[in-house]
Amino acid sequence: MPAPSVTFATLLVVYFCSGVAALTLQVVWFKQLQFVLGSSTVSVSVTVASFFFGLSIGSLLGGRLAERLGHPLRAYAGLEMLLAATAVGVTLFLRSWASWVTFFGHLLDPGSATAGPVSVAVSFVALLPATLLMGATLPVIARWMVEQSTAIAVRVGQLYAVNTLGAAFGCALVGYFGISALGVTGSALAAAGLDVAVGLIALSLWSATAERRPPATTADEAAVSVDHPGILGAVFAVSGFAAIAYEVLWFRVLSSYSGQSVYAFSGMLTVYLLGLVIGSLVCVRWIAPVKERLLPAFAGSQLLLATLAMLSVAVLGRGRNVVELTTPLPAGWSLWLGESPSFFLLCVLVVLPPTVVLGVAFPVAGELTSRGLRGLSTRLGRLYAANTLGGVLGSLATAFVLLPRLGSFASFVVLSMLNVALAGATVASQSSLRRHRAQFRKVALAAGVIAVGYSWLGPQWLRVALSTFTGATVLEFAETRDATLTVLEYPEHGKYQQILVNGKSYANNRPEGRRYMAAMAHLPLLLHRDARSALVICVGTGTTVGALTTWPRVERITAVDLLPEVFRFAPYFDERVNHRFYANERVRKVVADGRHFLLTTDERWDVVTLEPPPPHDAGIVNLYSEDFYALVSQHLRPGGILAQWVPVDIGRSETWRQMMRALLHSFPHVSLWVSNRMEGIAIASEQPLTIDLPELMARMDVASVRQDLEHVGLASPAHLLGTFVAADEALARLVTEGAGVTDDRPTLEYHSRIPIAPITFDELIRGSEPVAERVIGSRDPEQLARGRQAVEAIWRAHEADTRNDAVSMSRWIDRGLAVEPGNAYLLFLRESVADRITRESPLSQ
């Protein structure tokens, strides 16, 4: 029979592994539910609420169950193995979403009254069985662990620490390596296998120890004397509200300093969880052994948390300075981190200190509210449930009330004052604290620190930090439940505007961007025989939607974007570029996740065009996968065309090749077009690419269309066709063989695993095919050749620009103008390079 110390140590390792599996499953299921519910804040909040509600109810039921168990360790083993089987079922059910979502997809329409209730129902039905089992494990295993000792806070702290450490490890593992290596389903199955192993080890321990019974312990010997344990439990529940609310706020502001990749979010959550681990260990080592310290520590933790939260706000306001100061850290770390190491240092400075304090609270509250060992499991389960439900409410309140109404800075202040109030309630309710005036002075001092911090930093502290950019004028700044948005205006090129989401560029209407964004609309309409309807997913500045409005024959345009502010801010952008699409009666504006919108509608379109954010941003891969393209094809009318933005200029060329493979796997006919910089447009359809030149010229000759094409230098049919690179077999050879992108294998998100190897225009040209082979009707080979010469001159000019070689850039522009003297885009490039040469000239210094 193993010694008790060996059994304890083994169970701690077991519960660590349980935490790894639980967090892995949470990440996987959240990702799978996005395919059905979308990735809006509402959908994410519903999913989070469902998950943690299941944990809380499971904790309540598990606490009651544990009191009736004669063999809690055996029951724990059974729970873990049942969880493994349930986890497999949940994962496979969510993986097969396409087979069952069609029965009620229309009820999820964001504009319908049924969307909310149905989203909640889907999330609860999918997650409740597994989360109930997860929540039940803590009180059951705690029953066995605490029976071996009267040091409740020590044992609960150990359990909480190792389980949370496992969760942190699981978060980092699945976020950085798991899904990248095993895929979504593979990661879930690995977690389920880990749960089976946990159950088997626990079962073997039960068998080996023959459920060793502890020496009899009375309730009085184990209890800490407190006046009103119910009040302390309520304080702990409200502190759960604050803890998750802080998490939402920290992540929201920190995302403005990151690349918004899956690595950034995994890193932030890992740091948060590690802080809880350290706090639990601090409690176990220095606070829990002396029971007289528990009450003062509980009250003091609320005051210290309030102070550290305000300090985190001060650091966030200087986030760019921190990032700049730490930039010299080893860049090679990003191969594993997938993000700048300086960003993770910022996360540590902001998040770690207050979360260490948060980690102290749970084991301390467990002992203060336990009233001894008798009925401990029930009370522990109730305590954990209350804290978890408080966290759910904190998440929802922050997303739907605090951020939209108060903004991030004022929300931090409100939460800090809430912690001070909780400390005050703790002191006032306990006679052992109340008799010491120093406790009230501490509460007053903390409140004073918050007040001073508010007045010293000022309500604009974070707004200024998030909306100050060199050389730009801020036209608009807004904090919403989904993101922070900033509209900037730059004085260059006759003024142009840019929209930032969480501090990162979402779109701009510089002339380089205008050209390919306009082509995103014109190219599919020119290639389609008779397009009457179009769908745009991801609106940005509205340039693409505006270009669609120049086509009189297009009767129905649907513009979809996740952020309502994109439509509200549209008037800030040059109306000559977006053509005031927001006031056009033919344009239907829809606020929704683009993929989710397609799931909820039976509409079909002749053209679907989309330019999502870069594919390495977290969650955006959902708009680049084969599964998404299969959904798009269901919404194309006969002869329909998909136009997809392809960032060929991305430094890791395997990224855009994977994107193209996904399209080639999904559509029988795909072509690639590059209008200026290496930002391509993929055209996909069921029909082969055939260009009727007389028809093309007639369509381009419509006055409003011709004017818009002239504005971006694409008015010449030969020039437009010169942007063609390759199609079908030739395109497949260019992108080479390899894996595509699927929902189960979202490889684009894990960009740090892809070698840095940018493609050159020489490679692109070598892999291209003559467009003349796709043209029918009368054509002039020399004219087509001149059009291609002008386009290649533009390509080479941009390539020289990336090398900061203004002289070579100027030469290529002159060659292009020799072929097309009046081309508006070439004239813009000439003006741009002339300004640069003037600025760089020694005579201008």
CATH number at residue 518: 3.40.50.150
Asked whether residue 120 falls in the same domain as residue 257, the answer is no
Task: Examine the pLDDT at 586 and tell me if it is beyond 90.
Answer: yes
For residue 828, being part of any structural domain is answered with: no
Question: Strand 484-490 to strand 473-479: parallel, antiparallel, or no bridges (unpaired)?
Answer: antiparallel
In this prediction, residue 112 carries a pLDDT of: 82
Asked whether residue 621 falls in the same domain as residue 760, the answer is yes
In this prediction, residue 389 carries a pLDDT of: 93
For residue 812, being part of any structural domain is answered with: no
Closest CA to 335 of 141, 176, 226: 176
In this prediction, residue 44 carries a pLDDT of: 82
CATH of the domain at 70: 1.20.1250.20
Residue range 39-71, pLDDT digits in tens: 877 788 888 888 999 999 999 999 888 888 778
Ranges 466-470, 748-752, 816-820, most confident = 816-820
In this prediction, residue 210 carries a pLDDT of: 59
For residue 832, being part of any structural domain is answered with: no
For residue 818, being part of any structural domain is answered with: no
Residues 6+ apart with CB under 8 A from 455: none
Q: Which of 501, 518, 550 is the last residue of a domain?
A: 501
In this prediction, residue 3 carries a pLDDT of: 57
Task: Examine the pLDDT at 517 and tell me if it is beyond 80.
Answer: yes
Residue range 588-607, pLDDT digits in tens: 999 999 999 999 999 999 99
CA atoms within 13 A on the CB side of 746: 30
* Mean local confidence (pLDDT), 613-635: 92
Q: Which of 485, 501, 517 is the last residue of a domain?
A: 501
262-271, 400-409, 511-520: segment of lowest average pLDDT: 262-271
Asked whether residue 189 falls in the same domain as residue 258, the answer is no
pLDDT band at 158 (very low <50, low <70, confident <90, very high): confident
Task: Examine the pLDDT at 612 and tell me if it is beyond 80.
Answer: yes
Task: Examine the pLDDT at 778 and tell me if it is beyond 80.
Answer: no
Asked whether residue 433 falls in the same domain as residue 518, the answer is no
Task: Examine the pLDDT at 218 and tell me if it is beyond 60.
Answer: no
Residues 6+ apart with CB under 8 A from 419: 239, 242, 302, 303, 305, 306, 309
- Domain hosting residue 137, numbered range: 1-215
Asked whether residue 476 falls in the same domain as residue 430, the answer is no
- Give me the chain's average pLDDT, please: 89
Asked whether residue 458 falls in the same domain as residue 492, the answer is no
Residues 825 and 515: beta-carbon distance below 8 Å: yes
How many domains does the chain contain in total?
Answer: 4
In this prediction, residue 221 carries a pLDDT of: 44
Q: What percent of the chain has pLDDT over 90?
A: 63
In this prediction, residue 483 carries a pLDDT of: 87
- CA 451/CA 60 separation, integer angstroms: 39
For residue 164, being part of any structural domain is answered with: yes
For residue 784, being part of any structural domain is answered with: no
Quote the DSSP letter at residue 229. H
Asked whether residue 473 falls in the same domain as residue 515, the answer is no
* Mean local confidence (pLDDT), 533-562: 97
Asked whether residue 726 falls in the same domain as residue 773, the answer is yes
Task: Examine the pLDDT at 743 and tell me if it is beyond 60.
Answer: yes
In this prediction, residue 101 carries a pLDDT of: 86
List phi, psi (to 5°) of 587.
Answer: -95, 120
Amino acid at site 452:
V
In this prediction, residue 682 carries a pLDDT of: 98
* Mean local confidence (pLDDT), 80-89: 97
Residue range 798-819, pLDDT digits in tens: 999 989 999 999 999 999 999 9
Residue range 202-215, pLDDT digits in tens: 999 888 875 455 44
Residue range 659-685, pLDDT digits in tens: 999 999 999 999 999 999 888 999 999
pTM here is 0.92
Q: Which of 215, 236, 260 is the last residue of a domain?
A: 215
141-145, 217-221, 342-346, 433-437: segment of lowest average pLDDT: 217-221
In this prediction, residue 767 carries a pLDDT of: 94
Asked whether residue 7 falls in the same domain as residue 98, the answer is yes
The residue ranking higher by pLDDT, 188 or 338, is 188
Q: Which two tokens stand for residue 197?
A: 């192993």
pLDDT band at 468 (very low <50, low <70, confident <90, very high): confident
Asked whether residue 278 falls in the same domain as residue 379, the answer is yes
Task: Examine the pLDDT at 164 and tell me if it is beyond 80.
Answer: yes
Asked whether residue 631 falls in the same domain as residue 549, the answer is yes
In this prediction, residue 215 carries a pLDDT of: 46
For residue 790, being part of any structural domain is answered with: no
Task: Examine the pLDDT at 443 and tell me if it is beyond 90.
Answer: yes
Asked whether residue 294 falls in the same domain as residue 240, the answer is yes
For residue 3, being part of any structural domain is answered with: yes
Task: Examine the pLDDT at 350 and tell me if it is beyond 80.
Answer: yes
Task: Examine the pLDDT at 574 and tell me if it is beyond 80.
Answer: yes
Task: Examine the pLDDT at 624 and tell me if it is beyond 90.
Answer: yes
Task: Examine the pLDDT at 488 and tell me if it is beyond 90.
Answer: yes
Task: Examine the pLDDT at 842 and tell me if it is beyond 80.
Answer: no
Buried b (16+ CB within 10 A) or exposed e, 241-261: bbbbbbbbbbbbbbbbbbbbb
Find tokens 């192993």 and name the residue. 197
- CA 151/CA 550 separation, integer angstroms: 75
